[in-house]
Chain A
Amino acid sequence: MAIFNAKDRVIECKIVYYGPGRCGKTTNLEHIFKAGKKYTKSDMVSINTKGDRTLFFDFLPIGLGKIRGCDVKLQLYTVPGQQKYGSTRKLVLKNVDGLVFVADSLEVRREANILSLKDLQENLAEQNMDMSQMPLVLQYNKRDLADDGIPILPIEVMDKDLNSKLKAPYFEASAFKGKGVGETLKKSIQITLTYLNKKLKWSQ
């Protein structure tokens, strides 16, 4: 849960980018880091292994400035997507406030998306959190690959696979080109802060 310092009026919250391996979680954060350098005093921390795959996590702290009289600080994380890093994902998810699920639009990753979302649901349940009640945004990434003739899943199929019950807001994106990244983050921040306001009454 977010840390809210009522005396100094500072709220610090945690948003985690989740999704299957190689879906573009790190690319999202890299774009946010490049585009929003003025909002961050620190570097983005990435711990990668061979093939640029996230080994542990990525971490990007951002200061959003004053919102409704409160200094809002964000911590953005990614989890390692590979199935074998389950324990790391659980650790990174601890005390999460908001979630972005990055789904891979490639046809060959359809099952990986479904398994990863299920994994997220189970890991949240272990922390007594209900995914359907959490501030969650879906991002259907790599949409640009259709232009290169690579088989990708239609949005309707992805939405049916992943979002038929959740009914979460979703965005089409090409994180590689920076498209849809800002919209996804903006929505995530908006619904996460609204959710936290109900719980912590941080806004004036």
Chain B
Amino acid sequence: MSIKERIKALVKEAELYQSQSLLNQSREKYLELLKLAENDESISKNKKLLNDIKSRIRAVDDEITEIEEADKKSPELTEEVQNLISSLFSFSQNQATAAIEGAVALAKFGQYDKAVKELERLVKEGPIPLQAAINLLRCHLSLDSPEVAINQYKRWESREELGKGDLKYLHKFLDDHFKKKGIDIQVSEKDLGVSEKKEAEEKSDDLIDLSSIGIQFSEGKFKDKAVEFDVSFQSGNTVSIIIPPTKKDLAEAFKKGLRLPNIQCTSTIAIFNGSGVVSGKSNITTGPKRGSFSIDIIIDGK
């Protein structure tokens, strides 16, 4: 293949990848092309061609930047699509649980405003207000709005919208969250009565809401060491924990599929031993926790 044919082929490839939004691949081909042109004695004198290649690389870079910027924001979807998400991603046969699943799905798809409205409605009107309330607080906390979560709690407290047992449970949930995060916020508590604890216990389905988990590693670099983590998010039996970038070696110990036979699970109402498996690991690329690692663990043994 002559140099001209080689150049034509590379341009064709780079253009095609760009048209398919395979931008990194397109960039690589343009760079290969630039190198080829610069290293060829006759072509390297053709400044117009070299400038054209460089300008194409810049255009691809601009497109990559635009996409990265667009990815930082979750678009607000139409109400129709939001309703569709709620209905498609609520799987439970139980209507009350399905309604909460639908609202949680909205939050997972970044539709926080709608999720908050729906959860607020479910707290007021739904048959399992405690579950709705916990997920509503989680929504606020995942948006890094602790004050909003506290104000919400206070509203429930002052309007007596929830039972004393539920309020006690929610108070402990917030208190634990702030303590673990090292956030110095005191949540006021009226006379809630300890005897109501059972009421809260009875309302929780599935795995109860965990505030933290202590993991004792059975293999690898951290073998026999126990590390405690806050639960940043929970959906059913899957909990998510966040590991800061400064503890990269700890994050690396959590390989997908790793069995964790010794997990101490702490909730506001009980501490119990369980086991689980690492089901996912991802880097957080945007927001205040950027650079941290998110680890998903399925708790499968209680």
Chain A residues close to B by CB (< 8 Å)? 22, 45, 47, 49-53, 55-56, 59, 75, 84, 86-88, 90-91, 94-95, 106, 108-109, 122, 125-126, 145, 148-151
Contacts and interface: CB of A to CB of B under 8 A. Distances in A.
A49 B13 CA distance: 24
B91 A148 contact: no
Nearest to B89: A91
A9 to B, nearest CB: 20
Interface string B89-105: 10100000000000001
Interface string B262-302: 00000000000000000110110100000000001010000
Contacts of A86: 280, 282
Interface string B225-249: 0000000000000000000000000
B109 A122 contact: no
A22 B70 CA distance: 17
Given A51-B63, A56-B85, A88-B109, 15 more contacts: A47-B75, A47-B77, A51-B21, A55-B75, A59-B84, A84-B71, A84-B283, A86-B280, A108-B25, A122-B256, A122-B257, A148-B16, A149-B9, A150-B16, A151-B13
Contact of A47 (B28, B81, B280): B81
A137 B52 CA distance: 43
Contact of B282 (A84, A122, A145): A84
Contact of B66 (A50, A52, A125): A50
A22 B20 CA distance: 7
B88 interface: yes
15 contacts: A45-B81, A45-B84, A50-B71, A51-B21, A53-B21, A56-B85, A59-B84, A84-B283, A90-B280, A106-B17, A108-B17, A109-B22, A122-B256, A149-B9, A149-B12
Interface in B13-52: 13, 16-17, 20-23, 25, 28
Contacts of B70: 49-50
Contacts of A109: 22, 25
B246 to A, nearest CB: 22
Contacts of A49: 67, 70-71, 75
B88 A22 contact: no
Given A50-B66, A51-B63, A88-B109, A148 B12 contact: yes
B155 interface: no
Nearest to A83: B282
Given A51-B63, A51-B67, A126-B279, A22 B22 contact: yes
Contacts of B16: 145, 148, 150
Interface of B: 9, 12-13, 16-17, 20-23, 25, 28, 63, 66-67, 70-71, 75, 77, 81, 84-85, 88-89, 91, 105, 108-109, 256-257, 279-280, 282-283, 285, 296, 298
Contacts of A87: 108, 280, 282, 296
Contacts of A88: 108-109
A56 B109 contact: yes
A181 to B, nearest CB: 17
Contacts of A145: 16
A65 B75 CA distance: 36
A50 B16 CA distance: 18
Q: By CB atoms of chain B within 10 A, which of A51, A90, A145 has the most?
A: A51
Q: Which of B13, B108, B257 has the most CB of A within 10 A?
A: B13
Contacts of A84: 71, 282-283, 285
Nearest to B256: A122
Contacts of B9: 149
A52 to B, nearest CB: 7
Contacts of A151: 13
A122 B63 CA distance: 32
Contacts of A45: 81, 84
Contacts of A149: 9, 12
- The list of the 7 closest CB pairs from A to B, nearest first, reads A50-B70, A51-B21, A108-B25, A126-B279, A50-B67, A49-B70, A22-B20
Contacts of A150: 12-13, 16
Contacts of B91: 94-95
Nearest to B64: A51
Nearest to A51: B21
Nearest to B104: A91
Nearest to B111: A56
A91 B22 contact: no
